[in-house]
Every structure is written in C-alpha cells, then in structure tokens.
Chains A and B, each alone.
Chain A
Amino acid sequence: MSDIGWAGLGLSLVLVVVAVLLSLWRHLGLERGIVWASTRALAQLLAVGLLLQVLLEPGVSIWWGWLWVAVMVVVASITVSRRAPAVPGIVWLAGLAFTGSAVLTLGVLFGLGVFDLDIRTLIPLAGLMIGNSLAATVLVSRRLVTELDDKRDEVEARLALGQPAAAAAQPYLVEGLRTALTPQIETTKAVGLIALPGAMTGLILAGVDPIDAVQVQAAVMFLVLGSVATTTTVMALGIRRRLFTVDHRLLQIGGPARGQQVGEKDGEKRV
C-alpha cells in the first residue's frame, strides 16, 4: 500500500523546488507561477479530500453526491462559455451538453451495474467524465464557430441553392466534430503503450491488483470516449441551431443578424 503520509507529501515538494531552481537558472521567470500553481493545486485537492471524507462517512445521502455533480456541471459550463464566448447563450447549451452526457454515460455505468452507485463511485466517475469532456467541448465550439464564420460565403451559397440550414452547415459540423473527437480517439488508441493512465496508475499505487486496475481503467476510458462524443455532438448541434435563424439565414457571428442591420425604409422591391 502506498500511504505516503504528510512527511512523504512534504518530501515530494522537493520536486517543485527543482522546477523553481531550473526556472531561476534559465531565467524563465516562471518561479512565481510554479509556486502558485503547486500551492493552489494542493489547497484545492485538500479541500476536495476533506469534503469527500465527510461525504464518504456512512449514512450520508447519495443526493449530496448528485449535488456535487450538479456543481461540476455548472462550473464546467461557465468555463466553456468563457473560453468560447462567440455563441449567444452558450452557457446553457454547455449545461445541457454536460447534463445529457452525464445522464447517458453514468446511466450506462450505474444502470447496467458496471459500478455500484454510491458517493465513492459517483463523484470520481462524474469528475472524470466532465473533466475530460471539457477541452473537447471548448474545441468543438471554437472550431465550429470559426468554420461557419470563415466559410460564410460557402455556407450562404449552399443556402442560396435552397439547402436547409442543417444541410448547409453539415460539412462544417463534421469538420468541427472530427477535430474535437480525434485527439480522444488517439489517446484511447495509445493508452498503455505510451502512458499509463491516471485511474489505473492510482489504483496500482494504492495496491490494487493490476488486472483489476486495468478493468476499471478500460471502463473509465470508454466512459470518457462516450462522454466526449456526446457532449461535443450536443454542443455542435446546439451551436448550429443558435447560429441560424428559423428561416434558414446564417447570423452574423458575434453580433446581431445581418438582416437586423438592413433597415430598409418603406421601400418596395418586386422581382
């Protein structure tokens, strides 16, 4: 068993000192950043650990676990809206994407009995799911907005041919989703060959049988793959709906609809 204790934790700070010394030696100017990041990580982990310790006491209601998941969804949604602000109302969309993904992926893992549902499993699995989907969600949002904005001429040419918004946006939606999903697929392929993943490493360090650890890790990988696919798809479809009007016009991205700026005065035009 690897119970490193407070002394072990203190000794591991030597490695932070090494990073600071390297920064000082090469004049990188990153010392404050390294110290701040390490301190903050330690404080955050301790806070989470203490909270988990309370929640994992016998007799605590599972609803506290669900509340924790809800808070994670809210924080992740706000993070997405800050990193990809061009889409109006993206915070709600991200909330819907993470919630939908949580329902689906956790529903499969707990509903089919892969894991027993209790706070000890719910919080880490939800954390893995949301944490790993966050980057892909930001990526698909930015990519889709950029694609539709950069290729506005092409999109409008498709609309002008009578294509509905869904069809006109489809090639750019595919591009955005492929960009967001490919890194996760590559990570899934490389697991075990290049890097030992976190859940498995943690279990092995904690003394769990490696085959048991592999089973958990594989289930976690599939959870992440499923959740990344779900959140990015919900985001992409939602963004598409928000960037087109119901009468199949592409809105000005980052501003009001082009049509709202036209302002034709009492004029009439017949063709």
Chain B
Amino acid sequence: MDATGDVPEGGVTVIVGPSGSGKSTLLRCCNRLEVPDRGTVRFRGSDVTTLDPLTLRRRVGMVFQRPTPFAGTVRDNLQIAEPALTDHAAVLALERVGLAPPFLDRDARELSGGEAQRICLARTLVTRPEVVLMDEVTSSVDPAARLALEGLASGLAAVDVPVVWVTHDLDQMRRVADHVLVVIGGRVVHAGPPGRLGSDAPDEAQQFLTGEAA
C-alpha cells in the first residue's frame, strides 16, 4: 500500500474506493488490528506503534462491516466495553444511537441488522473515543437503517467526534462526506472536499468517481 494522506480533526472523512483497494486495511491499521510492514500511521502526531494498543483502541473506536453483537443482553454488550457503566449512562448511550431504553434488556443477538449495528456503535461510544472508524457499516443493513447510520455519523461529527467512514458507494460518499480520500489499488490517489472531486482529481480517481472503474 502507498497510503499517504491526512484525516482532518473534524467532520466525516470518507475513504472511498473500489472493493479490494485497501480501504479496510487502512482503517485496521489506524486501530492497530494490523500493523503495516513499512510506513507510519500517526494519531494526533504520535506513531501509533509507540502508543499502548489497548489505550489507542479506546481512543480510536471502530465499528465493523458486519454487526458483531456479543452473547447476552444489550446492557451486557455495553458493559463489556465499559464494565462500570451505570444504567443511566447506558440509556444515554442508547439515546445517542436513536434507540429507546427498553432495548437494554433485549437479547443482543435477536436484534435486526440495523439495530445490532447501532448497538455496536453505542458500545464503541461508551469507551468515549476521540474518533470513530466505521468500516462499510451499512453493507448488511436495510435502506432505512443505512440512512439512519449515515445520520448518526454526521451527528457524531457535529458534536466534535470526527468520523472516518469507509465505503465503495459513491452516492453514500456524497451524502456523508465533509472530506474525501480516494483509495485505488492500495494508494491514496486523491484527497479533498467532496465538491471539488470532479474537477481537480487525477484520471484514475475521475474514472472511479464517474463509475468507470467501480
């Protein structure tokens, strides 16, 4: 991979590119679930390999492509992320993802895909991350849940929790992005605000953005 690029300190940064282009790998490197052979991933100026991985992962939260509810109730799931979580804090976490308090006692594995993905987001948020990485989080949910999750990402960014959102869906990119990194073949080929992508992007980015290489 040759992924040179910066993620700004605010808003929703969308990493967009065709399937297999290295978007998810890039995100996993930010959370230290993977370590690159060469190059450096920096978080607020520090090389992430010099930081304690467990602390880093709580500062850089991550939600995955497929919902991963753990066995037990929704409350159990939230308390796995934060064992000292009170019921009051758990209800607030649910409110942040648009779910009602009765969800706390629901079996997490009986929820719909969209609900489960929201629980996964709430679970990440109770660790009080400074940034949230979202890796194709809408790929296995219905259209209504997709729009809801997009809204939640924008909402988080609005309250100063920057979001890095990975997708291969150009329409989704246009809906949620404040800033875009185009990744093709393991390289960041273009970076900038979404409105300017059509004009000054290089050819391979243009081809992808106009649908020719998608």
Binding site for B on A (CB under 8 A): 153-154, 156-164, 171, 247-249, 258-260, 262-271
Contact = CB atoms under 8 A, between A and B. Distances in A.
Nearest to A249: B33
A179 to B, nearest CB: 16
Interface size class of B (residues with CB under 8 A): 35 or more
Given A262-B34, A264-B36, A264-B38, A271 B70 contact: no
Interface of B: 1-7, 25-26, 28-45, 53-55, 57-58, 60-62, 64, 66, 68, 70-71, 80-81, 120, 123-124, 127, 131, 164, 188
16 contacts: A161-B124, A163-B54, A163-B80, A247-B53, A248-B53, A249-B32, A259-B34, A262-B1, A262-B25, A264-B39, A266-B4, A267-B188, A269-B4, A269-B7, A269-B41, A269-B42
B123 to A, nearest CB: 7
Contacts of A266: 2, 4, 38-39
Contacts of A265: 1-2, 38-39
A248 to B, nearest CB: 5
A160 B61 contact: yes
Contacts of B6: 269-270
A267 B31 contact: no
B54 A162 contact: yes
- Return the 3 tightest CB-CB contacts between A and B, nearest first: A264-B36, A162-B58, A259-B35
A270 B43 contact: yes
Q: Which of A153, A163, A171, A267 has most B Cβ within 10 Å?
A: A267
A264 B37 CA distance: 6
Contact of B3 (A157, A160, A162, A269): A269
Contacts, number: 130
A252 to B, nearest CB: 10
A263 B61 CA distance: 23
B33 A260 contact: no
Contacts of A154: 68, 70
Given A268-B4, A268-B41, A269-B30, A162 B68 contact: no
Contacts of B36: 259, 262-264, 267
A109 B30 CA distance: 53
A157 B120 contact: yes
A267 B57 contact: no
A135 B124 CA distance: 40
Contacts of A258: 28, 33-34
Contacts of A249: 32-35, 53
Given A248-B53, A269-B42, 14 more contacts: A153-B66, A153-B68, A161-B81, A162-B58, A164-B54, A171-B71, A249-B53, A264-B1, A264-B3, A265-B38, A269-B5, A270-B7, A271-B41, A271-B60
A157 B39 contact: no
Nearest to A153: B68
Contacts of A156: 33, 64
Given A262-B34, A271-B7, A271-B30, A157 B42 contact: no
B35 A262 contact: yes
Given A260-B37, A263-B36, A264-B38, A271 B1 contact: no
B6, B54, B55, B58 — most chain A CB neighbours (10 Å): B54
A264 B22 CA distance: 10
A159 B124 CA distance: 11
B33 A268 contact: no
Contact of B57 (A153, A160, A260): A160
A207 B71 CA distance: 55
A158 B33 CA distance: 11
Which of A156, A157, A160, A260 gathers the greatest number of chain B CB atoms within 10 Å?
A: A160
B26 A269 contact: yes
Contacts of A159: 33, 57
B44 A264 contact: no
A271 B6 CA distance: 7
Contacts of B39: 264-269
A156 B53 CA distance: 13
A38 B60 CA distance: 63
A162 B41 contact: no
A211 B4 CA distance: 78
